[in-house]
Structure 1
Amino acid sequence: MYELHVSAAQASQLASWAVLALGFGNIWAVPAVASFGARYTMIFGLAIFTGGFFWQAASESYDSLLAARIIGGLGGGVVESMGPMIVVILFPPEYLGRAMSVYTWSLGAGTVFGPLFSGYLIEGLGSWRFPQYLFGIMSALNMVGSILMFPEPIMNIRVRGEPPLFSAPDPSCGDEAPISKRGRETIRLENLGPERSVQDEQREFAAPPVPPGSWTNLWTMRSFFLRFTHHHPVSGWLSMAMAPYRMLAVPAVVLTVLLFGVSISTNIATSILVSLIFSKPPMLWSTDLVELFNLFVLGGLCAGFLIGGLLSDKMIASYTRRKGYHKPESALPLLLPLGIVIPLSTVLTGYGLANGWH
């Protein structure tokens, strides 16, 4: 940041504002997906995210760089929030813990290897702009991959050539059709038992069967389209944007959000603090050496990835066998070690830095 003549505190704000923008980007994911579909939302978010990197690389002032970080974060937040949605679509409930652990590990690994690669690029090439170009190219490739390999998964989006859901030609898709032949869109807020749940909205409808020989046509139809309609009316943007926050009425969700937020914030704060301390006199460590500290975070991610997802699936499956119904909150005891380790490690890190243990 010497090139832009800013202080270390201002440099740290580049990370803080970008993370805040990621959070705000999540707000628009739900209404955007419902209105425009997951495919176009993903591509649009990746386009903003990609443009943000190239904007950062070309920035000539601190204000321009900060604005690029914020705008890029807004696009990245939309994309990031769609990951769990895609996981839920692709995997059955008994594998959700393991699938989400892979997704969470991927997010964490990106925060580890991104700064690490950046540090070596900056030291080797002598400019902080080169990592931005590299990440912009990687994001652009991701966008191209999404254009080619991400057909529209939202069943409420009707593209040209598709029959209405209620007029499916297969008679087995009537009122008594098995659930495997139906489509369902549900926002579930809280499980209250085997018979009752609080729901924002649930729609169940007959889904037209797809002949085995038409998967290529289905991929083409659901991928490359410009005009579409909705099988069912879409709610207002404001109500859909606020819908996820009603989940905060569920104690299990509040506890999980708080612990996850504390975990992320402490990791970011510790990373910034370590960078500031070790890059200043008398240490004067180079950028690549400072970023090696992130490898310790990777070790914790690998341990959690191998244990957390599998154990959560096992605990939920055990509860389902004993009680007769599915309850995701039965995996909450796994958060107890997290709630103990995070404050202790943060206090230990701060105490060590304050007393010169480094």
Structure 2
Amino acid sequence: MEKIRNAFTPSEKDYDHEVGVEVLPGTEIMRDENGRAVAHLHNEQSGAVLVPQPSENLDDPLNWSPIWKWIVLINQGCFVLISVITNLSLAPLDNIYILLWNKSATHVALLTGATVLSLGYANFIIVPTAELYGRRFVTLVCGLVCLGGDIWQAAAQSYNSFLGARIITGLGAAINESLLPMIITDMFFLHERGKYVGVYFCCYFNGLFLGPIISGGVAQHVSWRWFFWACAIVQGFNVLSLLFLFPETRYTRERQTHLPLDTNTPAASVEESATMKPSTEAAEHMENFDTENGIAVDSSLGRGKPTKAQFKLIQPIDRHAWKTIARHVITPFNLIFFPIIALSIMVMGGAANALLMINLLQSAAFTASPYNFNTGAVGLTNFALVVGGTIALLTAGPVSDWIAKQKTMRNNGIREPEMRLIALAPLIVMTVVSMVIIGVGWDRGWDWRIVVILGFGFLGYVVVALPTVSITYAVDCYKPVSGEIMVIATVCKNTFGFGSTYFANNWAVASGYNPPVMLLMGITAGSALVLLVFFTYFGKTMRRLTKNHKVHSL
């Protein structure tokens, strides 16, 4: 079995000509090419080409065994789920706080709005810190902040104290808005990211769905304070689990190059080549890769595991990240002017705020006639959201990945990010149907089974599925700034959500439930429709306009 001794990097024009397609950021060659050896899934010729190409090191998170990847994913997913349940679960408790502290509905809504705002803006600190000091350090610090905030909320004796605790807890929980997508990019290959981004959004939105169910039940049968004491206990166990079972996933890997393979070419002929220059980094990267049947075989793939060094609390500082610290703060604001990212953010933000709007209004809607639900029953209506979100977990990411795979095969092994956008079509229809049922149903007093089972059920599906497809598309196009994409998406989403707490209840009282619900339906379905129709045809043009931007070299 012969080892690769020489690797070369052709010019961009030469490479475009060789593969027969314009290779822009986001375009991936999911096939073997003449003279190039690349690693495949399961080290089999029939397996998908791995993008990015892993190193040969066992501690490379891309090479970790499935068990270790799932250990990391489950621990982080639990952190997301628990912190979201704690922070965004006040809907059934609104009337309790109105009576307890003699505050208006708008003041009580601010308890959620302030948390939402801190959830968004804290990521301007969290993401650069995660790049500098590692994901593990930031996760543990934020976990401890959440734990302290949970205890404070449970013990708060006044409105102002409780509001302060909500803000602090939001600062710690802000990590769940950005870090897990970064970790998914650290550990998983391009062809499987859609599925695992779906896992992230399922954990996030199921936290939103389950929180009101749990808080309403606990408040009705015990007390609202014990809801937060229970959250503190569970959060404490999660912090311990992260301490012992969450290794560092940040990994410095050589920048990817296209690797020609021609083991029959004499060394002298190689050195005399006038059109190709040796790439030392590429040669070193592939030097320990054996080749069988014309493919590169990574003996470490799926067999790796974290080292003791990756469990250290403080990881070595990433000097490159330190030099570009200002970019990590400025870049998110820059990204909002990228059409692909802007529309993807609108889709994600629309879906999340559609759910937030329903949470803000559901207590008033279901406790009034003709429903007359108690606190616990209001919370239980969210079970329909859980069912819809769980179905989305099982279908949305895998279906979009499967669609992209089928289109890639028909496109001669060339994958374009736009290939997954067709998955938005049925989601747009479901968005319109669900929001109409909820808005019109509340105003006209439709049977609760129609509003909850159909309206909430469909909404639960789309609020998980729409962000899964749209954010995966944006990250596919601009991989080096996946963390910054989540930062600006969270800031935009949460800023709008904060504003919603001021107008949602008053607007519903003045004009009925339908107008505010229809506003969010228009934003969500409209932005998804533009993303589907326009970017399916002109997405590559948009990527071409930004191909030389500095974000691709961060």
With the length of structure 1 as denominator, give the TM-score of the two structures: 0.78
Distance 1:89 1:110, change over 3 A: same
- Tell me the equivalent position of 1:315: 403
After TM superposition, the structure 1 = structure 2 runs for residues 172-191 of structure 1, keeping only pairs within 5 Å, are 175-178=282-285
The structural deviation recorded for 1:284 is 4.3
- Tell me the equivalent position of 1:187: none
- Tell me the equivalent position of 1:205: none
The SS at the match of 1:178 is helix
Match for residue 130 of structure 1 among 188, 211, 226? 226
The structural deviation recorded for 1:180 is 9.4
- Tell me the equivalent position of 2:323: 235
Q: Distance in 2 between matches of 1:333 and 1:251?
A: 18
- Tell me the equivalent position of 2:174: 77
Q: Distance in 1 between matches of 2:241 and 2:307?
A: 14
- Tell me the equivalent position of 1:28: 125
The SS at the match of 2:284 is coil
Match for residue 393 of structure 2 among 305, 308, 314? 305
The structural deviation recorded for 1:274 is 1.4
| Conservation of the 8 A alpha-carbon contact between 2:120 and 2:174 | yes
| Conservation of the 8 A alpha-carbon contact between 1:279 and 1:290 | yes
Distance 1:47 1:357, change over 3 A: same
1:64 aligned to 2:152?
A: no
The structural deviation recorded for 1:285 is 2.3
Which has the larger displacement, 232-241 or 91-100?
A: 232-241
Q: Distance in 2 between matches of 1:352 and 1:252?
A: 35
Distance 1:226 1:25, change over 3 A: closer
| Conservation of the 8 A alpha-carbon contact between 1:55 and 1:65 | yes
- Tell me the equivalent position of 1:346: 435
| Conservation of the 8 A alpha-carbon contact between 1:8 and 1:276 | no
**Paired letter, 1:235:** K
The structural deviation recorded for 1:48 is 1.4
Higher strand share: 1
- Tell me the equivalent position of 2:94: none
Match for residue 204 of structure 2 among 107, 128, 145? 107
Task: Work out which of the two has the higher radius of gyration on C-alpha atoms and give 1 or 2.
Answer: 2
Which has the larger displacement, 56-65 or 297-306?
A: 297-306
| Conservation of the 8 A alpha-carbon contact between 1:279 and 1:286 | yes
1:264 aligned to 2:352?
A: yes
| Conservation of the 8 A alpha-carbon contact between 1:156 and 1:231 | no
Which has the larger displacement, 98-107 or 224-233?
A: 224-233
The structural deviation recorded for 1:175 is 4.9
| Conservation of the 8 A alpha-carbon contact between 1:4 and 1:60 | no
Distance 1:149 1:129, change over 3 A: same
Match for residue 274 of structure 1 among 362, 376, 400? 362
The structural deviation recorded for 1:137 is 1.6
The structural deviation recorded for 1:328 is 2.4
Distance 1:69 1:225, change over 3 A: closer
**Paired letter, 1:52:** G
- Tell me the equivalent position of 2:424: 335
| Conservation of the 8 A alpha-carbon contact between 1:84 and 1:100 | yes
- Tell me the equivalent position of 2:239: 143
The structural deviation recorded for 1:122 is 0.8
Distance 1:265 1:143, change over 3 A: same
Distance 1:323 1:252, change over 3 A: farther
Aligned length: 313
1:90-129 Cα deviation digits (max 9, x unpaired): 221111111111221111211122221111111111x211
Distance 1:331 1:246, change over 3 A: farther
Which has the larger displacement, 222-231 or 71-80?
A: 222-231
Q: Distance in 2 between matches of 1:293 and 1:32?
A: 39
1:289 aligned to 2:289?
A: no
With the length of structure 2 as denominator, give the TM-score of the two structures: 0.52
The structural deviation recorded for 1:24 is 1.6
| Conservation of the 8 A alpha-carbon contact between 1:17 and 1:70 | yes
Q: Distance in 2 between matches of 1:79 and 1:58?
A: 24
Which has the larger displacement, 329-338 or 304-313?
A: 329-338
Greater RCO (Cα-Cα under 8 Å, separation 6 or more): 2
**Paired letter, 1:128:** W
Q: Distance in 1 between matches of 2:173 and 2:123?
A: 9
Structure 2: any 5+ residue segments left out of the alignment?
Answer: 1-96, 254-279, 290-298, 448-554
Q: Distance in 1 between matches of 2:408 and 2:337?
A: 24
Q: Determine what percentage of the aligned residue pairs are the same residue.
A: 27
The structural deviation recorded for 1:243 is 2.0
The SS at the match of 2:415 is coil
Distance 1:60 1:299, change over 3 A: same
1:248 aligned to 2:345?
A: no
The SS at the match of 2:373 is coil
**Paired letter, 1:177:** E
Q: Distance in 2 between matches of 1:137 and 1:275?
A: 27
Which has the larger displacement, 225-234 or 141-150?
A: 225-234
Distance 1:328 1:58, change over 3 A: same
